[in-house]
Each structure stands twice: as structure tokens, then as C-alpha cells.
Chain A
């Protein structure tokens, strides 16, 4: 039996990689993929605790997250494509309409 902290380290590592990706990469697609990475890190944590505590709520929640992530991906990709059509770019820094 793999002890729980292994899973927690893996989840923490994946989450950190995701955060760094979101904060540093300029390509919107890559940022979206980083967000997916963070959600999957959360899923691992949920599954790990579910197994550790012997409760099924974590698993159900993980499946719920996957579902929401699918919807999020669809909406996010739609926004990205619409944005690309308008701006002809994937660079997040060129999308700065909210700038003062």
C-alpha cells in the first residue's frame, strides 16, 4: 500500500507545475492546459483522501470535477477561438482590454 503522503506530494507537485504554467506561459492554450493540470492535481488529492479515509464522497467529487472540467474546456476553447478570430494572436499579453 502506497502511503498517502506520496500521493499528496505528487498532487502538490502537479499543482505547483500548473500554477507556474499559468503564471509564466504566454500561450493561452498552454495556460488552459496548465489549469487542467491543476484540476487533475486536485482530483488526485480527492481520490487519495477518499481511499485513505474509506469514504466515497471524494471519488464522486472527482468525477464531478471532471465533468465540470469538460464543460469548462468547451467554453474556454470557444472563448479562445473567438478571441483568436478577433485578435489573430494567442499571446495572453496582447489581450489587455482591461488595462487602465
Chain B
């Protein structure tokens, strides 16, 4: 079977699952709903794996396969900035190249595991079928996003995942907080989508196409011919506009506020959408547009700084959160910051690599926390947990692996990807030691808050109340098996991208055709300054040391029974309060944007009430008044004239009227008399 030409089927499997479950799921048994939803994703995974395998068999420079299903939009023609005539042409087309194959495998593979897990986790919930219909719709949108061959297809997927995110955050829609969180996610994303849409239109106007392949070629040729230079304003503008889109979807400063609130959704949703796949769409999009970013080093700097600051900022908040899912949510924001740091320093491979490894261990951690929450009967506060390691051992061991991986302990996936990012932040031509320093500090903070989570949840004394304590149980196989698979992935996924001093980097080699550096006219291929391997090893050693320090601090503060956390909290009361309140960002946004919007709304309401309604009411009043005047005129003047005419005729006619008695016999008498008169007159002449 030629899977390469069947990639258009990959998004259609979950779409079919969505339609079946959405329309008939309510009347189907739960098992059937679960099998259809998971089976659809499994089919998509099999087709994706087949296609990626066949792609890898092609020669390196041919690994970009476009399948056009049909021409979708063909409208309007302009003269693009390149001087060529261009049509607004959008094909329903799919692109499989090394980058999208990484994404499609992550999305379908981890997506499938999470679907299986959800059949266990959501079994008792109302609207089981609704959940899986949404989840399948999400898979369809996400696959359209990563497989779409042009910016418009990507935008459709982008908006589709936003919709599904909204629907799934608001899954428990009877809870006001869930509805609010869903709205917040949707509205904040609108701001970002504005940027993305602007960027796409700028791309079309400037390059005359929105196909990834064509735009890439136009830029490459333009650069080779010398028409495009480094730091041309248009590239900076497009790069920044697209990045605004990325900050929305991938929860970067300043638009990250929706992601922590998104934890109102069911935990598998947090794992799939708000950790592993959807939130990485921004990373994918920036990596996909890498030729534009290569020409806009200023925008790259912005991305690197925003990414680093987001990583630091979110990690600092995660230090003091007590809700198990919120810790993971801020951790996700922080790790996404890492990815953008990597993109910003020009290491697209590093960003995508961390995206992939992060998908494994963050999905694992979220699903693990879901398993804990499941065991604890929907208790999410870590202060009410403790000593769970013996009671739910599989969850504990898998989560421990996830924690080790995210903390960057050598040998696990997170170490390789995080180390790659830190090394690039330090050594790349776009890098800076300060960026490395922030990254390293964040690594330590990550290690601290993750081990804090692990120790508070699984070790120490039990703070579980007796009623719940009796019911704690390990989750069913459907939940634990995905955990184990993800744990294996969290260990092994890193080995495809080993650092240079350790072995071959297959991952970088695989992605090379996509991230090929631009060749400038007349310039020799830029050769990167070679850093010594010993420096790289030394840097890795430093970051591992920092991670271990974080671990030890967490150990001292939370594993051993100590009052260290309280002491520190008292010592730095101001800082602690600020962190616990998430740096008051929500309050700031409320004050600056939300309440101003509400004020504007209230002002407009008042304007409506007073001015618009006043105008309407005034019009009504004056209409009534003028109608009264008009009616007086009608009644007295117009009617009066008519009556006058009538009365005039009536008065004049009264003598004649009297003859009209209405008695038939009177008329007959007149007739007879008239005849007599005539006869008399005739006879008179005779005699």
C-alpha cells in the first residue's frame, strides 16, 4: 500500500469517529464509543507510521510529499510584492515532510494512548460519548494543522483545535469556573489568532502564495538572487505577527494566562491538548516558517527573550502551587518557553526535539496526576495527599520516571533535549550567556517543583482523610498501560537525538532538509564556530548539577519532615505571596484589559440607554405629538371643508328634496296627472 499518497486519510479517520460518536454515541454502549474513538486514532497512527516509513525510504532531498485532494479556494488575483501575478489559491492539500512526520507521529501516537487512558478515566462521567466526539474532533483538527500543506489549512486546524480546546475545557459546563476558563482560553487565543491571520496575509501579499513549499522556494530563490536581505522589515513584520499567534496558542508571555485555567477540563484533555499537542502548535508553526525567521534575527531575539522569560516566570509560579494539575500547567508553560528559547536562538531542531520529548513526559505526568486524582476521588490539592507510593505503585513509578525525565536527569529523554537547548542558547550565533543562565536557573526550578510534587504526593505522612483513604485503589489496566508506554517513551525518546560528543544525532539529520540554512548570494555557507566537545560536556555537567541541587532542595524541604517551606515562606513573605498569587498577572489583566472592556461595555450600555434609547423614545414622542396635531388638522380643517361643501349642497337643495317623498304612489300619481295634462292639452286643441 502506498501510504504516502493516502496521508489525506489520516485526519479523516478521527473525523469519521467524531461524526459517528457525535451523532449516534448517545444511544451506543460506552464500550463501542471508546472502541470507535480509540480505533479511529489507532488507524490514523498506523497510516501515519506507514507514510513516515515510506518517506524515510526516499532520498533525502525528495522527502517532501504533497497530496492535493482538491482545489478549495481560487479567488481574486493580485500582483504580489515579488512582481509576479498571484491568485488567492488554496488547495485542500497535505504535506508530509520530516517536520510534519515528527508532529503527526507524536499527535497520533500519544493521542492514541490518551484515548485509551480516557476510556478508563472518563468511564463514570456523564456525556462519555460527547467527550470522545470532541476528542476525535480535536485529533482531526490537530492533524489538519500539522499535515496541511499551506498556511490556510494550518489556520483551519489552528482554529479547530482552539474550538475543541474551548469545548473540552468547558466539558463540565455546569461548573461556572469551567465555563469561565473555557471562555478565557477562547478569547485570549483570539488575540493571538489575529496576529497569525495578519502574518498569513502578509505572506500571501509578499510572496504570492501560501503553500509552504512555494513560499520556501520563493524565499530561497530571492535570497540566492540577492533580492531578499537579512533583517528586511517585511520579514521582521511577518515573523513577529506569526509569533503573536504562537504566543496565544503556545501560552507565552503575554498571552499565557489561559493555560493554567484550562486545567478545569478533564485531566486527559490537559494531557493531550494542553501539554502534548495543541500548545506545541506555535512551536511547529515557527519551525515551519523557519526561512522567514532566519531572515529576521531581531524577531528571533524577541522570541528567545520571550521564551526565556516565560520559562522563568512560569517556573517561579510553579514553585509554590499546591494544586497538582496547576503545578503541571505552569510547568508546561515553562517548558514551552524552553522550546521558544531554542527556536529563538536558531536551533529549530532543538525546539522540535524538546517538543517531542516533552510530549512524552508531560503527557505521562498529566495522565499520572489524573490517575492520582482518580484514586483520590477528585482531590487535587497536594497538601491533602501523601504516602501514596505504596497504594498506587504503577502510577508512582511511572510518574517518578516522568519527573526524572523533565528534571533533566541524565539518561532520560528530557536530559538530551533540554541539554541541547541550553547548549544552543550558549553557543549558537543568536545565543547569549544570559539566555543560558536563565535556562539553567529554570532547569533547577523545574527539578525542584517536580520533585516537590512527587514528594508531597507519594511520600511523607498521609494527609488523606479516612473516608477517602479506605477507597484508594490503583487505576484499571486501560489507564496504567498507557502510563507504562509513555514512561518507556520518556526514557527512550531522547536517544534519537544524542549530543555530538555522545553519538550520532538521527533526529537532527532527519530534520535537516526542512531547516536547511538559507544560502546568501555570494556568501559562503556560514560555518559555525566549532566549540570544543569538552565545553559542551562541561555545560551539560553544570545543568545536571543544577537539576540535582533542585532535587536535593526539594528532598530537604518536602521529603524529610521539616518546617523549611514554612520558614522560607515567612522569611520572604512578600515574594511568597506574589508567587502564590501568580505574580498577580490575572489581577493586572483584569485591571488593565478585562475591567476596561467591562467599563467600555457599561459605557456603551449607558450610551445605549440614554442616547440611543433616548433618540428612539424622543422620535416616538414627537411622532405622537405631530400625529395629534395632524389629527386635529384632519378633523377640523379637512373634514370641516368636506362637511362645509356637503352642508352647502344640502342647504341649497332642500326645496327640491321635499318632492322626493319615497312613496311610489306619489310618483305614480304625478305620472297619471302628467298624462292627463298631456291628454287634456291634446284634446283642448281638438275641441
Residues of A within 8 A of B (CB): 19, 22-24, 92-93, 95-100
**A100–B662 touching, CB < 8 Å:** yes
15 example contacts (A-B, Cβ-Cβ < 8 A) are as follows A23-B665, A24-B665, A92-B664, A92-B665, A93-B665, A95-B664, A96-B662, A96-B663, A97-B662, A98-B662, A99-B660, A99-B662, A100-B657, A100-B658, A100-B662
Q: Which residues does chain B contribute within 8 Å of A93, judged by CB atoms?
A: 663, 665
Q: Tell me whether B668 is interfacial, beta carbon within 8 Å.
A: yes
Q: Could you say which of A23, A95, A98 contacts B668, with CB atoms under 8 Å apart?
A: A23
Q: Which residues does chain A contribute within 8 Å of B227, judged by CB atoms?
A: none
Residue of A nearest to B653 (CB): A100
Q: Which residues does chain A contribute within 8 Å of B664, judged by CB atoms?
A: 92, 95
Residue of A nearest to B675 (CB): A19
A42 to chain B, nearest CB (A): 13
Q: Which residues does chain A contribute within 8 Å of B532, judged by CB atoms?
A: none
Residue among B663, B664, B669, B672 with max Cβ neighbours from chain A (10 Å): B664
Task: For the complex, give the distance between the alpha carbons of A19 and B657 in Å.
Answer: 26
Residue of B nearest to A97 (CB): B662
Q: Which residues does chain A contribute within 8 Å of B662, judged by CB atoms?
A: 96-100
Q: Which residues does chain A contribute within 8 Å of B668, judged by CB atoms?
A: 22-23
Q: Which residues does chain A contribute within 8 Å of B661, judged by CB atoms?
A: 96, 99-100
B527 to chain A, nearest CB (A): 118
Task: For the complex, give the distance between the alpha carbons of A19 and B668 in Å.
Answer: 9
A33 to chain B, nearest CB (A): 15
A62 to chain B, nearest CB (A): 21
Task: For the complex, give the distance between the alpha carbons of A64 and B669 in Å.
Answer: 27
Residue of B nearest to A93 (CB): B663
Residue of B nearest to A95 (CB): B664
List 8 A-B pairs, minimum CB-CB distance, nearest first.
Answer: A99-B662, A96-B662, A100-B657, A100-B660, A92-B664, A98-B662, A23-B669, A22-B668
Task: For the complex, give the distance between the alpha carbons of A22 and B658 in Å.
Answer: 22
* CB-based A-B contact count at 8 angstroms: 28
Q: A100-B657, A100-B658 are in contact. Are A92 and B663 (CB under 8 A)?
A: yes
Q: Which residues does chain B contribute within 8 Å of A99, judged by CB atoms?
A: 660-662
> Which residues of B in the span 635-684 have a Cβ within 8 Å of any Cβ on A?
657-658, 660-665, 668-669, 672
A76 to chain B, nearest CB (A): 13
Residues of B within 8 A of A (CB): 657-658, 660-665, 668-669, 672
Q: Which residues does chain B contribute within 8 Å of A23, judged by CB atoms?
A: 665, 668-669, 672
Residue of A nearest to B666 (CB): A23
Q: Could you say which of B658, B660, B663, B672 contacts A19, with CB atoms under 8 Å apart?
A: B672
A79 to chain B, nearest CB (A): 12
Q: Which residues does chain A contribute within 8 Å of B663, judged by CB atoms?
A: 92-93, 96
Q: Which residues does chain B contribute within 8 Å of A98, judged by CB atoms?
A: 660, 662
Known: A96-B662, A97-B662, A100-B660. 20 other contacts (CB 8 A): A19-B672, A22-B665, A22-B668, A23-B665, A23-B668, A23-B672, A92-B664, A92-B665, A93-B663, A93-B665, A95-B664, A96-B661, A96-B663, A98-B662, A99-B661, A99-B662, A100-B657, A100-B658, A100-B661, A100-B662
B163 to chain A, nearest CB (A): 75
Task: For the complex, give the distance between the alpha carbons of A100 and B665 in Å.
Answer: 16
Task: For the complex, give the distance between the alpha carbons of A98 and B668 in Å.
Answer: 14
Q: Which residues does chain A contribute within 8 Å of B658, judged by CB atoms?
A: 100
Q: Which residues does chain A contribute within 8 Å of B657, judged by CB atoms?
A: 100
A88 to chain B, nearest CB (A): 18
B650 to chain A, nearest CB (A): 10
Q: Which residues does chain A contribute within 8 Å of B672, judged by CB atoms?
A: 19, 23
A73 to chain B, nearest CB (A): 18
Q: Which residues does chain B contribute within 8 Å of A24, judged by CB atoms?
A: 665
Task: For the complex, give the distance between the alpha carbons of A95 and B662 in Å.
Answer: 8
Task: For the complex, give the distance between the alpha carbons of A93 and B668 in Å.
Answer: 13
Residue of A nearest to B657 (CB): A100
Task: For the complex, give the distance between the alpha carbons of A60 and B13 in Å.
Answer: 106
A25 to chain B, nearest CB (A): 8
Residue of A nearest to B654 (CB): A100
Task: For the complex, give the distance between the alpha carbons of A66 and B253 in Å.
Answer: 116
B680 to chain A, nearest CB (A): 15
B477 to chain A, nearest CB (A): 96
Task: For the complex, give the distance between the alpha carbons of A19 and B669 in Å.
Answer: 9
A37 to chain B, nearest CB (A): 14
B657 to chain A, nearest CB (A): 4
A87 to chain B, nearest CB (A): 13
Task: For the complex, give the distance between the alpha carbons of A100 and B672 in Å.
Answer: 22
Task: For the complex, give the distance between the alpha carbons of A96 and B672 in Å.
Answer: 20
Task: For the complex, give the distance between the alpha carbons of A92 and B665 in Å.
Answer: 8
Task: For the complex, give the distance between the alpha carbons of A19 and B672 in Å.
Answer: 8
B429 to chain A, nearest CB (A): 112
Residue among B657, B661, B665, B669 with max Cβ neighbours from chain A (10 Å): B665
A96 to chain B, nearest CB (A): 3
Task: For the complex, give the distance between the alpha carbons of A67 and B313 in Å.
Answer: 121
Task: For the complex, give the distance between the alpha carbons of A58 and B662 in Å.
Answer: 37
Task: For the complex, give the distance between the alpha carbons of A46 and B386 in Å.
Answer: 139
Task: For the complex, give the distance between the alpha carbons of A92 and B657 in Å.
Answer: 20
Residue of A nearest to B656 (CB): A100
Task: For the complex, give the distance between the alpha carbons of A23 and B663 in Å.
Answer: 10
Residue of B nearest to A26 (CB): B665
Q: Which residues does chain B contribute within 8 Å of A19, judged by CB atoms?
A: 672
Task: For the complex, give the distance between the alpha carbons of A97 and B663 in Å.
Answer: 9
